[in-house]
Amino acid sequence: MTRLLRLCKIIFVVLYYGLDELVLSGFNDRKIKFLVRVITIGRRLEQPRGERLRMALTALGPIFVKFGQVLSTRRDLMPTDIADELALLQDQVPPFDSAVAVAIIERSLGKPLTELFQHFEQQPVASASIAQVHFATLRGGPSHGREVAVKVLRPGMLPVIDSDLALMRDMATWLERVWADGRRLKPREVVAEFDKYLHDELDLMIEAANASQLRRNFQDTNLLLVPEVFWDWCTNCVFVMERMYGIPISRTEALRAAGVDMHKLAEEGVEIFFTQVFRDGFFHADMHPGNILVSVAPESFGRYIALDFGIVGALSEFDKNYLAQNFIAFFRRDYHRVALLHVESGWVPAETRVEELESAVRACCEPYFDKPLHQISLGLVLMRLFQTSRRFNVEIQPQLVLLQKTLLNIEGLGRQLDPDLDLWKTAKPFLERWMHEQVGWQGAWERIKVEAPQWAKMLPDFPRLAHQFLERRALHSNGETEKLLAMLVAEQRRTNRIFAAALMLVGGFMAGVVIMQILSSSGHF
């Protein structure tokens, strides 16, 4: 019943804001245009289409808001008016009452607001689908006087998210049953991944831990700034971090006016992404412009500042190595290697002809090399690859869905910063260097250094362990020999019994024949 009510609300919002008219108006067919006129009778749809779409997504809740955030970064796929409106979803979702936020903080931290902060701004500085942020100044302890950002979880999110996820699970099950590609695309597994990340985002302690890990990963580089976490002020509903100053990355004109090198900024954005994915296997997976600032402070001028760590992705060593080899093969235009990697990984059936897959991948990717970013739509490339994957029964990998989403965000961001950026040439040297460090002599030496302490601990015990092993082996061998001899003796006895029984049977038969002959010769028969 809950899901049915939620579905009814979705349908009502779609009709109320005229999203059906928005979709159908994109067709030029006269019949469809006539249908649009009919279905809009009695509805006042005076607001611009982008504003209606933004308000509808906001009304439908966090999952739909996040979908709008992703769309807002794809100005190559969306009309400008719609993309501009959807960009407001990045940090300008209507806030909830500040009094409610204060009550949540005091209840979570167990103290009045005046004992926690010297100063607390009642008006939120940013509001998104899951939480809103207030600026404050800490009171007490070693961090007294530090300027912070206080993130407070939006109340009542869990029931809405659970309801939407239940609908998504039902739709995924339905797709698997009625769509030929359903099983190959693994929609239920994809929804399960989405479920995990959304529920993690509802626990701000998990977000704080993600921020701390990302800060540690980049503390020795000049690429990315991550705010410090103040753990004594953190709970499941409240996350307090260092206040960061910078210009939102979407304000390109302001960045240029401040003297930021946009080409360098775009290149470093690509490097940050690949560093997170391939060096650390731990990446910020919600990199829309609302979550990224650029520092203009003299000591960190032009560096990226990351915010909002609720959604992160993680990759196994197998995934990292497989993806790196695929990327490098793409950049080298070695499509045979790409096809071979797909077969070796089990992503396509083993009987797939490598040459056919190679030809199909070449047709997808070759037209886009040596072109600047503004002439490439990674979204369209992925769409063509998706069509190819259907033909060759490529299995979708749910653990890489977040990575694909983030890659689309990165491309959209790079397109805004520097349309002439060559994505391939920027990423290729980094990946080649990473592969050399992982599989070359340097990589072997690094792994030896990591394992050396454990080996040093085990080495003194090695003679004793080897002696025990050989002793057990010998005992085990003796025991096996004894068992084998016993089995042979038992088998010999059984054979002897069978042979004796056979002799008795033959002897009895021969004796019976002799007796019959004697009786016959004596005239008894």
- 131 annotated as ligand-binding: yes
| 236 three-class SS | coil
Question: Is position 515 annotated in a ligand binding site?
Answer: no
Is residue 132 a known part of a binding site?
Answer: yes
20 is annotated as an active-site residue: no
For residue 323, give the nearest of 385, 279, 292, 260 by alpha carbon. 279
Three-state DSSP class for residue 225: strand
The answer on whether 128 is annotated among ligand-binding residues is yes
Residue 129 among known ligand-binding residues = yes
Q: Confirm if 364 and 381 have CB atoms less than 8 A apart.
A: yes
Considering 91, 286, 308, 418, which one is annotated as catalytic? Answer: 286
DSSP 257-304: HTT--HHHHHHHHHHHHHIIIIIISEEES---GGGEEE--SGGGTT-E
Residue 502 annotated as part of some ligand binding site: no
Please tell me whether 297 is known to bind a ligand. no
Query: Amino acid identity, residue 121?
Result: E
Query: Which residue type, as a one-letter code, is found at position 237?
Result: C
How are beta strands 224-225 and 292-294 bridged, if at all? unpaired
Report the run of H or E that residue 29 belongs to, with start and end. none
What is the token pair recorded at 236? 């499941």
* Helix or strand holding residue 333 (H, E): none
- Whether residue 126 is annotated as binding a ligand: the answer is yes
CA dihedral 40, 46, 49, 50 (to 10 degrees): -150
Give the integer Cα–Cα distance in Å for 412 and 16.
31
The number of helix segments (H) and strand segments (E) in the chain equals 22, 11
What's the CA gap between 308 and 91, in Å, rounded?
Answer: 11
Residue 18's identity, in one-letter code, is G
Is 127 annotated as belonging to a binding site?
Answer: yes
Pairing relationship of beta strands 224-225 and 304-306 according to DSSP bridges: parallel
Binding residue per annotation — 82?
A: no
Give binding residues for ATP as ranges.
125-133, 151
Give binding residues as ranges.
125-133, 151
Residues designated catalytic: 286
